[in-house]
Structure 1
Amino acid sequence: MIESLAFDDAVEVGVAAFCAGAEPPGDDEVWHRLTGAGVEPWLAERLLIFLPMAFTRRLLPDVSFSDGAVAPGGRISLPDEPVFVSALARAQRADRGEIERVALRSSEFNAVNNALHGGSALSDLVVGDTALRADLGPVIPGDGGVPSPRAAFEDLLRGHHVLLGDDTKVDAKLFVHPAPAGVVMAQVDFAVTHPALAAPRLVESFAGHGATWREAVGRAVHKFERGALHPIIEGLLRPGAAPDQVERERYEHAGGAFELILGAQLNLFADRPVPSAGPLLNLLLDGLRSEPLTREVHGLRLFIAHHVGRLQSNEVLLDGEPWPRGEAVAANSPAPLPDGSVAVRIFGLLVPVGGA
């Protein structure tokens, strides 16, 4: 059986398709939102059917629901359908607005609602197999048009011969953001848990857009690969596996010396070359000397965005948390370009010299 984990991201895309717009969309509209963004028909069909069923089970936990559905070609076992299993897991963390949009459209919900109007109690209700109008299309091997960023992360690590120990975990989750018609926006949070980290988890988030989910997720993964993957490998997971993909410098701190391992500077939105953010980074590192640092691995991220010289976004994170002193330094620094739009992102790890 195909692992349900492979469809967690597709389910997230399905929930977004149901919840987009001011009014609840019809099935045809949801179908076009999914297939128009590259979701393969066999997967879009299952999202349309299984998401309302799964969310109804979350909405009405006291009702006894069948574990199957009946199609013209025979009975379908829901626990054997990985898209349904992923949908059921996603329903457990759905908010009220999502539940109302998705669950209230299911035939099972309507059956329960009719029974309640007839005087039945929830705990007495038993809902039989849902009848499907047509047989489901066969599952086609692959991701169904919604790539798994976690699988991509794991592939990148395998490409650098990284083996994860029992105390090290990686993950990547897709979050869907509203976007103009014809465009989809994917935010992917890449996470690492490692005993050498100062924080419980290191999370680096990247966004990508495109006409399809394959394009959007692919662009987010590409940014992660360019900007954060290699410092994570060199500083945590397998030192020496990507030496030519990072910059290194010794960093002296009152708490002891560190090695700063930097990824590439990512320049966004600009239509011309962007100067190095090295001078700003040096100012941040100077300011960091006033902060206590444990002899653990610390993450440092800079993201600034300007429009016609004015600061629009200012994010300086130390161990995943906003660093006010660093944000003040960034706010008082000149824009990388005097006009137009530009954003700069830099990520690095501070690794204790001599080990943690």
Structure 2
Amino acid sequence: MIELDAAVEVGIAAFCAGQESPGDDAVWESLTGAGVEPWLAERLLYFLPMAYTRRLLPDVRYAEGLETPGGRLSLADEPVFAAALARAQRADRGEIERIAFRSAEFNAINSLLNDGSNLADLVLGDPALAEDLEPVRPGDGGVPSPRAAFEDLLRGHGVPLGGETAVGATLFVHPAPRGLVMTQVDFAVSHPALAAPWLVESVAGHGPTWREAIGRAVSTFTQGALHPIVEGLLNPGAAPDQVQRERYEHPDGPFELVLGAQLTMFTDRPVPSAGPLLDRLLVELRARPLTRKVHGLRVFTAHNDGRAQSTEVLLDSEPWPAGEAVVAHHPAPLPDGRVAVRLFGLLVPQRSP
């Protein structure tokens, strides 16, 4: 069974695009134009408003089926409807109003209430479609699930899922120029050895289709953060050649820094190692108490013509102001042009010799 978490987020973004609520044709074009297969786009178009109406007006007794020219369909057998209904339970007010208000069921309920009916007394019949739904096709419908990809990557490194290890990946849709889609994926891990309840690494991806945008986000995460997480936390020894290790002396005890590959963006030119910057950060980190748990450290810098445009230093997935001050005063990786650098590593407690 395919994961539909990302597909539902993409559908919500299509409904909520622009200042005014888009029509069905615009939603359809937004979805299929970015590579969502018709069978999935069609179900998102129909089932999201139905799910959000149930979230908005839960006291109404709704039908459990859908009438089509080819016969009655059970909503319980439609995984897209189930995923939409689950997501609707944590929708904000803006989403609810954009999506539920366009539902034929919402309009029917509104008409009945205007005629004097009570909400709790309403019983709706099966909604009817003028045409049969497209048959469900094999595969992900053009919207791969980052969570499923993350779980597959971990299984490929021998990491058992379940028990004390919990993982997730949440997709967020961002506005993008016409012809492109842009996403952010928050990859998250929970484990008793971590200093924080969750370690979260957020990466972006863009492209003409959702498959390409999500694929780029997964690829960036795989290159930079996956192997430190596996080697430093979940299954040491599963990817030893994919990380760098060095001992780090801290007042609260020694750690081993398990570091992923340095990633560079926005340039094809050679970029110097960020090792000197990392060394300065580790010196600064000695002034901050650290528990004898696994700590995550992430550094991102973006420069244009030698000037900092964005700096972010996260310790245990939270901003670290002292680290950001170090980065702000460090020279740009290149004196001109655009360049961004990304580092991710884990500090793993070591026994004193």
Match of 2:49 in 1: 52
Specify the alignment match of 2:128 in structure 1.
Answer: 131
Q: What's the CA shift for 1:186?
A: 1.3
Match of 2:291 in 1: 294
Taking the aligned partners of 2:108 and 2:66, their CA distance within structure 1 comes to 15
> How many pairs does the alignment contain?
352
1:151 aligns with 2:164: no
Q: Per the alignment, in what secondary structure is the counterpart of residue 291 of structure 2? A: coil
CA displacement 1:271-292 (0-9 Å, x = unmatched) = 4121111111000000001111
Farther-moved stretch of structure 1 (303-312 vs 247-256): 303-312
| Stretches of 4+ aligned residues off by more than 4 angstroms | none
What is the CA distance between 1:129 and its match in structure 2?
Answer: 0.6
- Matches of 1:54 and 1:110, distance apart in 2: 14
Range 324-333 or range 59-68, more displaced: 59-68
1:165 shift after superposition: 5.1
Equivalent positions of 1:194-205 (< 5 A) are 194-205=191-202
Shift of 1:209: 0.3
> Cα deviations across residues 42-73 of structure 1 (Å, max 9, x unaligned)?
00010000001001111111211111111111
- Matched residue type, 1:171: G
Q: Report if aligned partners of 1:183, 1:210 keep a CA contact under 8 Å in 2.
A: yes
In structure 2, distance between residues paired with 1:157 and 1:197? 17
> Is 2:214 the counterpart of 1:217?
yes
Partner of 2:345: 348
Q: Is the 8 A contact 1:247 1:262 kept in 2?
A: yes
TM-score for the superposition, normalised by structure 2:
0.98
Deviation by residue 1:113-143 (Cα, 9 ceiling, x = unmatched): 1111111121121111101111111111110
State the Cα deviation string for residues 69-110 of structure 1 (Å, max 9, x = none).
111111111121100000001111111111111111111011
Of the candidates 202, 224, 227, which is equivalent to residue 224 of structure 2?
227
Supply the distance in 2 between the matched residues of 1:326 and 1:320 (Cα, whole angstroms): 13
SS in 1 for 2:4: helix
Tell me how far 1:270 sits from its aligned partner: 2.0
- Tell me the equivalent position of 2:29: 32
Question: Superposition RMSD on alpha carbons, in Å?
Answer: 1.2
Report the more deviating stretch, 64-73 or 249-258. 64-73
Higher mean C-alpha deviation, range 233-242 or range 62-71: 62-71
- Stretches of structure 1 lacking an aligned partner (at least 5 in a row): none
- Local SS of the residue matching 2:313: strand
With normalisation by structure 1, the TM-score equals 0.97
Tell me if structure 2 keeps the 8 A contact 1:164–1:237.
no
Write out aligned runs for 1:263-342 (5 A): 263-342=260-339
Q: What is residue 86 of structure 1 aligned with on the other side?
A: 83
Aligned-pair identity in percent equals 74
Cα distance between partner residues in 1 of 2:218 and 2:77: 30
**Structure 1 residue 324: deviation in Å?**
1.1
Distance in 2 of aligned mates of 1:283 and 1:123: 64
Letter in 2 for 1:99: I
